Amino acid sequence: MITSPYDKYRQSSVQTSTPAQLVIMLYDGAIRFVRAAIDGLSKQDYEKTSLNFGKAQTVVSELMSTLDHSYEVSKNLFSLYEYTNFLLVEANIRKSPDKAEEAIGYLTELRETWLQASKIAAGQGQAESAHG
């Protein structure tokens, strides 16, 4: 049961979003989790670090599982997600903010690409994307 107004808003925004907006929300979440993990690293709070790297990996895995492989670009996206996930695992194991920052770089770049693509698609009246 959802009780807080924020949770109700979040559920409503997810239910009324386009597929492209949902992908952008996933990127936002992954970036937020990696930043929280980096914050945990800086404070030597390894429980926070591990928890947030794990959440980011879950989001990246979700992005991987929702790819529509009928698009050629999906193969490249899958490889990039796989590498990003590898960076997150390495960042967590090695307590490496550099690897985490590299992952954020990829996630941020991909987010911006999806944002631009969604604006173009909206302008053309299409919401077709590599994510199904």
Residues 6+ apart with CB under 8 A from 124: none
Looking at per-residue confidence, does 122 or 113 come out higher?
Answer: 113
Of 23, 15, 13, which is closest to residue 118 (Cα–Cα)? 23
The number of beta carbons lying within 10 Å of the beta carbon of residue 77 is 19
Cβ atoms of 33 and 52 within 8 Å: the answer is yes
pLDDT of residue 16 exceeding 90: no
CA separation, residue 65 to residues 14, 23, 36, 94 (Å)? 18, 12, 24, 26
Over residues 32-87, the pLDDT tens digits come to 999 999 999 999 999 999 999 999 999 999 999 999 999 999 999 999 999 999 99
pLDDT at 20 (0 to 100): 87
Share of the chain above pLDDT 90, in %: 71
